[in-house]
Amino acid sequence: MKELQYEKNDNYTLVRLRSDFTQHDFLEMRSFFNAKFLDEGDAKIILDCDNMIELPSIALGVFCSLARDVRRKRATFSLIHVSAGVKSIMEQTHVAKQVPVFNTLSEAIAG
């Protein structure tokens, strides 16, 4: 998987999604998140999609799986800066019901 940029602090972990992520990268992302963030006890994980104009369909499935994993650990997972097109697809496929989408980081932190 291509390297992800992230910043951790006491309240949340912000992960910046790369625009050059492939389907393979998205598939590997679930195990990376579990090992790097959930197993370390991070309570609020926010994925910044600012660089993503579109997402492969596999990403939506990975987001749902991550949301399930996060809920099991009593943590939260959300997306920010999601393009209008991706947000529309997430709403049509009901992914937005499982993965909260916020416009800004401050909204996601407030949850």
Instruction: Report whether 50 contacts 79 (CB < 8 A).
Output: no
Contacts of 34 (CB under 8 A, 6+ apart): 69
pLDDT given for residue 6 in this prediction: 94
Instruction: Report whether 102 contacts 79 (CB < 8 A).
Output: yes
Domain range for 33 is: 5-110
Q: Total structural domains in the chain? A: 1
Model-wide pTM > 0.85:
yes
**CATH number (domain holding residue 68):** 3.30.750.24
Which pLDDT tens digit goes with each residue over 36-64? 888 887 789 999 999 888 888 999 999 99
pLDDT given for residue 84 in this prediction: 93
Q: Which residues of the chain, if any, have pLDDT below 50? A: none
